[in-house]
Amino acid sequence: MLHTQERNILKKITPFSRKLLEALSASRTWESAVELASKIKQPRAILFCENENVAAELNLSLTEVPRKLWINPFKFQHAEDLTQLNSKMTHSYLKPGTIIISASARTHLENLCRKALLERKQSETVLHEQKMHIKKIKANILQFKTKKINPLFTGSMFHLNNFYIEIVTCFKFLKVKQNEQFSHYSGDNFAPE
């Protein structure tokens, strides 16, 4: 269930991550915006900068831009955090040339977007593997039921023991995959022990 939830979150983030990466490729550097602030004429701009005071200074200099939005990109540390950015308001600012961004903020957001795309692929793979293991267990249970193995026979005990080992191994595999997927969630109540 956790893998399905994670995949669904990442699935929603994927189109936004692609759109943000595309918009970042056509963004304006912070330095050029500071130099040309009075000449920039557009209906809106989004300012990605970690320092609120620096952003406020540029905000005051952009006199010909009526709508400005400042976002500290470093408050987003995990790919899943991009869901907070994925809003109708933010989408309206993601047009070519409307992003003004510091170099460190651009690198950070690009890395987050790429990480989101990669994690989406990984979550799909893990979910597929999980489904295959569950399918295999169900098939083994069905096979076990249809054979109606009598546990008094030694050969049957061997099959029963192998079946048990296979189920335990499968669940250990799923727990390891779950721990790998959620290892960056330190300290929350849902983190694996």
* Assigned token pair, 66: 């009526």
What's residue 166's pLDDT? 67
Query: Could you tell me what percent of the chain has a pLDDT over 90?
Result: 39
Q: What is the DSSP letter of 73?
A: G
Q: In which residue are the tokens 């399918």 written?
A: 135
Region 176-185: mean pLDDT is 58
User: Which range, of 63-77, 111-125, 160-174, averages the lowest pLDDT?
Assistant: 160-174
pTM of the model: 0.66
What is the C-alpha to C-alpha distance for residues 144 and 141, in angstroms, rounded to an integer?
Answer: 5
Confidence band (pLDDT; 50, 70, 90) for 120?
confident
Give the residue, 109 or 186, on which the prediction is more confident: 109
User: Is the Cα dihedral 47, 53, 54, 59 positive or negative?
Assistant: positive
Burial of 76 (0-12, 13-18, 19+ CB in 10 A): middle
Amino acid letter at 36?
L
Contact by Cβ (8 Å): 31, 49: no
- The sheet with strand 28-29 has its strands ordered as 28-29, 99-101, 44-48, 67-71
Which range is most confident: 4-13, 109-118, 152-161? 109-118
Q: Which is more confident, 27 or 180?
A: 27
Query: For residue 189, what pLDDT is reported?
Result: 44
Taking a C-beta distance cutoff of 8 angstroms, is the pair 192, 182 a contact?
A: yes
Given a cut of 80, is residue 154 above it in pLDDT? no
Q: What are phi and psi of 48, to 5 degrees?
A: -105, 110
Q: How far apart are CA 102 and CA 105, in angstroms?
A: 5
Residues 6+ apart with CB under 8 A from 142: none
